[in-house]
Amino acid sequence: MSPRLRLFLFAAACLCLVPAVISVARHMPMFGDHPMPYGDAINALAPVQRHVSNMISAVNFDYRGFDTLGEEFMLLCAVTGTVVLLRGTRGEQLSARPGIVPGQPILLRSPAAVLICRIFAPAIVLFGIYVVLHAMTTPGGGFQGGVIIASGFVLLFVGEGYEVWRRMVRSPVLAACEGLGATTYALCGFASMLAGHPFLQNFLPFGTLRDVFSGGLMQIQNAGIAFAVAGGFGTVLLEFLEETRAIKPDDAGPGDGT
């Protein structure tokens, strides 16, 4: 297709679509206008019913906690699929050398970059833990905190290089975090069934409003999500970063992965 014909088609499509877009835009609700009753209902009910000031956590872990269970296992499946696909063509040995790009010299890291990473890696992990712990009071929660913790690990790779990073971040630990976190969330549901309530019913004492440890069962669910997300994102990042190492004799070729 010649560029002129393409431009002509683009102009024709614009002529057809622009009136429709303008007409739709004129009939949309005003910016910031929300006619739905649910947001206001949750804002009014959650502090009274669940003693929680972060409504998003209340919705995610309590009012629609079963949905979050499904999302949790979707993440688990996605991580498992990524690991299976990426590990197909290489072994699992820990002592590999970093790979090299042909024609590009290996430069030493500047001390400033190493220092910045050494300062910020623990700080970011700490901030992630803070976000996880304050899930019931301030914005954030297990998912956000977990991703922040996992991205803190990456600074180890940036600052210290492949070999140190590989010694410090261990795949079985991350896998255990991921699996145990997801199991914890599911077990919360069965625990409330054992206590004689419906699945995932929040049966623990709710605590006081605006307290870090308010929310009852939501605290345990939140901790489970945090472990699962930190472990899951950590595993995905680790498996991708493993692709940058030098290939080893025990690795299968690209064609004969099993």
Partner 1 sequence: MSTLIVVLLLLTALAGAGVVIARDPRRQVLTMAANGLVLTCLFMALQAPDVAFSELAVGTAAVPLLFLVVLASIRMDRRLKPGDESDPDGAQ
Query: For residues 158 and 130, what is the distance between their CA atoms, to the nearest angstrom?
Result: 23
Q: According to the binding rule CB under 8 A, does residue 102 interact with partner 1?
A: yes
**CA 256, chain centre distance (Å):** 32
Closest C-alpha among 181, 202, 158 to residue 57:
202
CB of 217 to partner 1, least distance (A): 20
Q: Does 251 help bind partner 1 (rule: CB under 8 A)?
A: yes
> How far is the C-alpha of 6 from the C-alpha of 82, rounded, in Å?
38
Q: Among the candidate windows 20-28, 69-77, 147-155, 206-214, which touches partner 1 by CB under 8 A? A: 147-155
Whose Cβ is closer to partner 1: residue 117's or residue 148's?
A: 148
**Residue 139 interacts with partner 1 (CB under 8 A)?**
yes
- Give 98's strand partners: 245
Contact predicate 169/161, CB 8 Å: no
User: With binding defined as CB under 8 A, does residue 95 bind partner 1?
Assistant: yes
> For the chain, how big is the Rg over CA atoms in Å?
24
Report if residue 211 touches partner 1, rule: CB under 8 A: no
Per CB under 8 A, does 241 bind partner 1?
A: yes
Site size toward partner 1 (CB under 8 A) is: 33
Task: Please select the residue that binds partner 1; options are 99, 122, 198, 205, rule is CB under 8 A.
Answer: 99
Residue 32 makes contact with partner 1 by CB under 8 A = yes
Show contacts of 45-52: CB within 8 Å, 24+ apart: 47/209, 50/202, 50/206, 50/215, 50/216, 50/218, 51/206, 51/207, 51/208, 51/209, 51/211, 51/214, 51/215, 52/136, 52/137, 52/206, 52/209, 52/214, 52/215, 52/218
Can you tell me the distance from the alpha carbon of 203 to that of 191, in angstroms, rounded to the nearest whole number? Answer: 9
Q: Residue from 58, 148, 188, 217 that binds partner 1 (CB under 8 A)?
A: 148
Q: Is 236 in the site for partner 1 (CB under 8 A)?
A: yes
**Minimum CB–partner distance for residue 175 and partner 1 (Å):** 18
6 is a site residue for partner 1 (CB under 8 A): no
Structure tokens at 72: 């949790």
Judged by CB, which is closer to partner 1: 20, or 250? Answer: 250
Query: Which of the ranges 72-80, 165-173, 216-224, 232-240 carries the binding residues for partner 1, by CB under 8 A?
Result: 232-240
User: Per CB under 8 A, does 151 bind partner 1?
Assistant: yes
Calpha distance 192→203 (Å, rounded): 6
120 versus 199: smaller Cβ distance to partner 1: 120
Distance CA 29, CA 18 (A): 19
Binding residues for partner 1, rule: CB under 8 A, are 31-32, 56, 95-97, 99-102, 131, 139-141, 143-144, 147-148, 150-151, 154, 233, 236-237, 240-241, 243-244, 246-249, 251
